[in-house]
């Protein structure tokens, strides 16, 4: 048997799935698949020329160093599986390349057409061959026509794109490794313990967001709100009016109004409006939306959802999951897929309904992806799925079917009502046509009836009640809201966001209730020594530099050298600062040095010697008291009341009990 690849043209793909599609498209299905050293490869001939398509599994190479200590700027690219036991699965890909690529006479980089893809293919070709003999296939989807077109129009090696990718990797490594090591050094100096800590361009701004949210909630001081609830009775049925105005801030005003409302005795119907609302189906799923929905509906974490999606993808049940696209191109062949899905009992009636449409038009969203469409089911029938896999698969199928369906139609009645000079409303909701809601029933639309009234009607008031409520702190973050926050800030990628959130938990910077003491320590250390790394702006500046490198306006060496200077300067300053320092002088949050009389963190300059968090809570208590005072509360009563409210932040409550203790002492003897 002759060896594979004798002066062949080697086509390097980013992953096995893509390799299969590329081989099939270019060879018109004639490619022969063989398992070579455990890696699927495809062989075919065109005009006597031998082609071999070999997949990688993402990056085979990674940056590494053998130097310890900081600053560290010496690194090189090495095969990942050699240094990292968690990446042993890459070894077979490495071996397949090392047998085949040296016998190739030319190479085609057919990795995803984005910066990382350019780099993945380039590193592989460079390791075993001559990059001057490399060409680039450029495609934005794996549909046959597009792949054939890009194969006929091979581009030159996209060296500027590769340089931009290399620059990004190097800058991230320099920042991440140096600051991570600095943190570990500092922690060791303060506590005498060795502990793995980390920092990076994406994880650190995310940690800062958790800390901001945690402090905001812990120092929250509520103010009271007084609503006057009015109930009317029509035809023996009681309705609670919805207030159309802000609640009262003063109890007295609410009471006065309630008295007037009661004595007037009736409500006046001002206007009755009927409208037919139509709700378009949801967009096709991108990864972030799917992770958000899986968490909302099933409380499955974003990382777990991605893992399940990867399993479903490798089982050929769904398309590529790491996509930002909310668009489904027609070329996917939706009618065939929906016909297949209809073979599954759960979806039969819905699929039939969708197939009755003459044209299938998805409700495409605005988000896009350079290499992949939105997530859709392939139409392959799953054999047996585990519980959570079944839930996620169901979500994908339902969302997919829904996006082709008719809008949901809702009849809505809005009644404007006036009671003693204040505006109220009543809303009636009735779903008259379910449309896509039939396929994707994960939204609760509460149906409500309203009394049959007309403008000018006077309706008897049955009951007037004053209800007290309180302003609320911002909602706490969870893994799904954090992921959406990262998305909104444009940090991380589909492949990395969920895992980076897990890193914050694994490091114990963050737990179920927000930032931990360790998280606060890392936060304040980075704020003190490496504030640039905590800012979203660092990513923006990376992006600008990469764009300029891609356009040939800037060189990688230049931006990398600049990064070494910036990071090097900060590291030198850090080393000097901690050289002769006593742990108590670090003034970091999360470290008990005995300063703050409440928590023992270092004090900032203020009257009580509070740490910054308790000082912030104290300032809010003083500020918010102005509102309560207008409502007739004395300081003592105010503190008493707040200490009993559940929504008062923990740090605020701690300050309250501290103040009450010291005040008692002051007035006692």
Partner DNA sequence: GCAAGGTC
**Active site residues per annotation:** 320
Residues 65-84 contacting DNA, CB under 7 A = 65, 68, 80
Q: Which stretch binds DNA (CB under 7 A): 11-19, 30-38, 220-228, 374-382?
A: 11-19
- Whole-number minimum distance, CB 453 to DNA, in Å? 57
Q: Is 135 in the site for DNA (CB under 7 A)?
A: no
- Whole-number minimum distance, CB 586 to Zn ion, in Å? 15
Q: Is 500 in the site for DNA (CB under 7 A)?
A: yes
Q: Is 172 in the site for DNA (CB under 7 A)?
A: yes
- Whole-number minimum distance, CB 593 to Zn ion, in Å? 11
Q: Which stretch binds DNA (CB under 7 A): 110-118, 392-400, 409-417, 556-564?
A: 110-118
Residue 425 to residue 267: CA distance in whole angstroms: 11
Instruction: Report the candidate in 566, 620, 505 with the shortest Cα–Cα distance to residue 198.
Output: 505
Residue selected from 288, 492, 514, 595 as contacting DNA according to rule CB under 7 A: 492
DSSP class of 182: H
Q: Is 399 in the site for DNA (CB under 7 A)?
A: no
Runs of H (alpha helix) within 490-588:
497-506, 517-529, 536-550, 556-579
Instruction: Report the candidate in 464, 454, 413 with the shortest Cα–Cα distance to residue 231.
Output: 464
Q: Is 10 in the site for Zn ion (CB under 5 A)?
A: no
Residue selected from 131, 184, 268, 445 as contacting DNA according to rule CB under 7 A: 184
Binding pattern to Zn ion, positions 595-614, x when CB under 5 A? -x-xx-x---------x--x
- Taking the least distance from each CB to Zn ion, the nearer of 54 and 611 is 611
Q: Which does 211 bind (CB under 5 to 8 A by kind): DNA, Zn ion, none?
A: none
Angle value at C-alpha 649, between 644 and 652, nearest 5 degrees:
85
- Taking the least distance from each CB to Zn ion, the nearer of 154 and 599 is 599
- Taking the least distance from each CB to Zn ion, the nearer of 486 and 655 is 655
CB atoms under 10 Å from CB of 57, counted, come to: 17
Q: Which residues contact 458 (CB under 8 A, 6 or more apart)?
A: 266, 267, 268, 269
Strands 8-13 and 422-433: unpaired
- Taking the least distance from each CB to DNA, the nearer of 160 and 654 is 160
Q: Which stretch binds DNA (CB under 7 A): 86-94, 388-396, 459-467, 547-555?
A: 86-94
Q: Would you put residue 608 in left (φ > 0), alpha (ψ -120 to 50) or beta?
A: alpha
Residue selected from 24, 218, 326, 503 as contacting DNA according to rule CB under 7 A: 503
Q: Is 177 in the site for DNA (CB under 7 A)?
A: yes
Mark 438-473 as b/e (b = at least 16 C-beta within 10 Å).
Answer: bbbeeeeeeeeebbebeeebebebeebeeeeebeeb
Half-sphere CA count of 86, side-chain side, radius 13 A? 1
Q: Is 24 in the site for DNA (CB under 7 A)?
A: no
- Whole-number minimum distance, CB 323 to DNA, in Å? 9
Q: Would you put residue 266 in left (φ > 0), alpha (ψ -120 to 50) or beta?
A: beta
Residue 462's H or E segment, with its range, is: strand 458-470
Residues 607-666 contacting Zn ion, CB under 5 A = 611, 614
Q: Which stretch binds Zn ion (CB under 5 A): 129-137, 211-219, 592-600, 626-634?
A: 592-600
Residue 120's H or E segment, with its range, is: helix 115-128
Residue indicated by tokens 């990064």: 563
Residue 186 to residue 522: CA distance in whole angstroms: 10
- Whole-number minimum distance, CB 20 to DNA, in Å? 10
Residue selected from 28, 89, 299, 630 as contacting DNA according to rule CB under 7 A: 89
Number of residues that bind DNA (CB under 7 A): 54
Q: Is 120 in the site for DNA (CB under 7 A)?
A: yes
Report residue 250: phi and psi, to 5°.
-110, 135
**Is the distance from CB of 400 to CB of 293 less than 8 angstroms?**
no
Q: Is 116 in the site for DNA (CB under 7 A)?
A: yes
Residue 301 to residue 405: CA distance in whole angstroms: 29
Binding pattern to DNA, positions 30-59, x when CB under 7 A? -------------------------x-xxx
Structure tokens of 114?
């984005």
Q: Catalog residues that contact Zn ion under the rule CB under 5 A.
A: 596, 598-599, 601, 611, 614
- Residues making contact with DNA (CB under 7 A): 14-17, 55, 57-60, 62-65, 68, 80, 87, 89-90, 112, 114, 116, 120, 168-169, 172-173, 175-177, 180-181, 184, 196-204, 310, 313-314, 322, 491-496, 499-500, 503
């Amino acid at each position: 048997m002759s060896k594979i690849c004798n002066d062949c043209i080697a086509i390097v793909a980013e992953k096995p799935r893509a390799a299969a599609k590329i081989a099939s498209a270019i060879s018109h299905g004639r490619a022969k698949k063989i398992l070579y050293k455990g890696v699927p490869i495809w062989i075919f001939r065109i005009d006597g020329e031998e082609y071999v398509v070999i997949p990688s599994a993402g990056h085979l190479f990674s940056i590494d160093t053998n130097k310890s200590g900081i600053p560290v700027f010496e690194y090189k690219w090495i095969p990942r599986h050699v240094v990292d036991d968690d990446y042993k699965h890459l070894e077979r890909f490495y071996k397949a390349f090392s047998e085949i690529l040296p016998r190739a006479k030319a190479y085609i980089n057919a990795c995803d057409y984005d910066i990382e893809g350019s780099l993945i293919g380039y590193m592989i070709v460079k390791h075993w061959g001559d990059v001057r003999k490399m060409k680039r296939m450029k495609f934005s989807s794996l549909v046959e026509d597009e792949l054939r077109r890009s194969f006929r129009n091979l581009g030159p090696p996209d060296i500027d794109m590769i340089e931009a990718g290399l620059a990004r990797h190097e800058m991230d490594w320099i920042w991440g490794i140096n600051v991570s090591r600095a943190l570990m050094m500092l922690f060791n100096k303060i506590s005498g313990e060795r502990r793995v800590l980390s920092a990076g361009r994406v994880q650190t701004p995310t940690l800062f967001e958790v800390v901001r949210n945690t402090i905001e909630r812990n120092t929250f001081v509520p103010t009271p709100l007084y609503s006057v609830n009015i109930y009317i009775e029509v035809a023996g049925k009681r309705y609670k009016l919805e207030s159309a105005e802000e609640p009262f801030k003063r109890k007295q005003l609410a009471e006065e109004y309630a008295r007037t409302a009661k004595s007037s005795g009736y409500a006046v119907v001002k206007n009755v409006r009927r409208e037919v609302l139509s709700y378009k189906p949801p967009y096709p799923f991108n990864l972030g939306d799917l992770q958000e929905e899986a968490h909302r509906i099933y409380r499955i974490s974003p990382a777990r959802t991605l893992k399940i999606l990867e399993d479903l993808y490798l089982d050929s049940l769904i398309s590529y999951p790491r996509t930002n696209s909310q668009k489904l191109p027609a070329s996917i062949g939706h009618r065939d897929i929906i016909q297949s899905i209809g073979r599954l009992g759960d979806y039969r009636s819905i699929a039939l309904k969708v197939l009755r449409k003459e044209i299938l038009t998805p409700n495409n969203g605005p988000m896009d992806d350079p290499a992949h469409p939105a997530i859709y089911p392939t139409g392959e029938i799953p054999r047996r799925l585990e519980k959570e896999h079944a839930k996620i698969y169901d979500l994908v199928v339902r969302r997919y079917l829904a996006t082709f369906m008719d809008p949901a139609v809702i009849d809505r009645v809005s009644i404007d009502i006036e009671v003693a000079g204040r505006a109220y409303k009543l809303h009636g909701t009735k779903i008259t046509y379910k449309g896509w809601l039939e396929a994707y029933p994960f939204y609760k639309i509460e149906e409500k009836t309203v009394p049959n009234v007309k403008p000018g009607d006077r309706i008897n008031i049955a009951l007037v009640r004053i209800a007290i409520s309180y302003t609320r702190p911002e909602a706490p973050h969870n893994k799904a809201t954090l992921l959406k926050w990262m998305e909104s800030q444009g940090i991380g990628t589909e492949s990395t966001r969920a895992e980076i959130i897990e890193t914050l938990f694994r490091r114990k910077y963050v737990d179920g209730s927000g930032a931990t003491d360790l998280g606060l320590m890392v936060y304040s250390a980075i704020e003190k020594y490496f504030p640039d790394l905590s800012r979203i702006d660092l990513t923006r500046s990376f992006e600008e530099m990469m764009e300029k490198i891609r356009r040939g306006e800037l060189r990688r060496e230049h931006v990398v050298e600049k990064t070494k200077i910036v990071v090097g300067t900060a590291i030198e300053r850090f080393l000097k600062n901690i050289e002769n320092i006593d742990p108590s002088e670090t003034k970091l949050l999360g470290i008990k040095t005995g300063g703050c009389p409440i928590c023992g963190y270092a004090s900032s300059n203020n009257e009580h010697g509070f740490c910054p968090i308790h000082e912030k809570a104290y300032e809010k208590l003083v500020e918010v008291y102005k509102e309560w005072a207008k409502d007739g509360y004395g300081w003592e009563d105010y503190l008493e009341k707040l200490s009993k409210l559940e929504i008062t932040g923990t740090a605020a409550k701690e300050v309250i009990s501290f103040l009450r203790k010291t005040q008692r002492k002051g007035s006692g003897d």
